[in-house]
Amino acid sequence: MSEIETQVEEQLEIAARIIADASYVIALVGAGMSKESGIPTFRGGDGLWDKQGEPPMDGYQRFLEDPAGWMAERKAQAERGSDFGRAIEEAKPNPGHFALAEMERLGYLQHIITQNIDNLHQEAGSTAITEIHGNR
């Protein structure tokens, strides 16, 4: 076993002890959790915002100025679809999702708080979930 593998194993053992000894464990997860399932992240070297640019943050103001135009734009975007939307529809839970579901089933994990909208935690079997941004 390499030095790095030994260090990783030691860190995992420490984390496992902390979790086993804790009275209430919450997993706070984000886009990195679903990347292995084929869903691109927003930030990072291959993130959507690096490829397509950050979206404008004036949507609410545009809605106030022209609600019908804003709605027409949103409808057109939905009809065109997106690589992100297709990735979400095609994604399946990965081993990380299943590991959290198993930790919940065994009583080691009490809750998941996620930014993800992909529903993969539910598909993997987790039930105690708070979705900050909702889901598909």
pLDDT tens digits for range 63-76? 999 999 989 988 87
Residue 101 pLDDT more than 90? yes
Q: Sheet of 111-114: strands edge to edge? A: 26-29, 111-114, 129-131
pLDDT at 20: 96
Cβ(108)–Cβ(134) under 8 Å? no
Q: How confident is the model at residue 52 (pLDDT cuts 50, 70, 90)?
A: low
Mean pLDDT of 81-110: 92
Q: Please report the pLDDT score of residue 86 as a whole number.
A: 84
Q: Which residue has the higher pLDDT, 99 or 49?
A: 99
Of the residues 97, 111, 121, 133, only one is catalytic, namely 133
CA-to-CA distance for 129 and 110, rounded, in angstroms? Answer: 9
| pLDDT score of 82 more than 90 | no
> Could you confirm whether 133 is annotated as catalytic?
yes
pLDDT at 17: 97
Q: What is residue 122's predicted lDDT score, i.e. its pLDDT?
A: 98
Distance, CA of 2 to CA of 44 (rounded, Å): 28
Does 16 reside within a domain?
no
Residue 23 in tokens? 């009275």
Residue at 17 is within a domain = no
Residue 3 placed within a domain: no
Q: Is residue 7 situated within a structural domain?
A: no
Q: Residue 5: inside a domain, yes or no?
A: no
Average pLDDT, the chain: 89
Nearest C-alpha neighbor of 95 from the set 128, 131, 120: 120
Examine residue 89 and state whether it is found in any structural domain, yes or no: yes
pLDDT for 9: 97
How many domains, in total, are found in the chain?
1
45 assigned to some structural domain: yes
DSSP E strand stretches across the chain? 26-29, 111-114, 129-131
Residue 53 binned pLDDT confidence (cut-offs 50, 70, 90): low
Range of the domain at 109: 24-131
Q: Is residue 13 in some structural domain? A: no
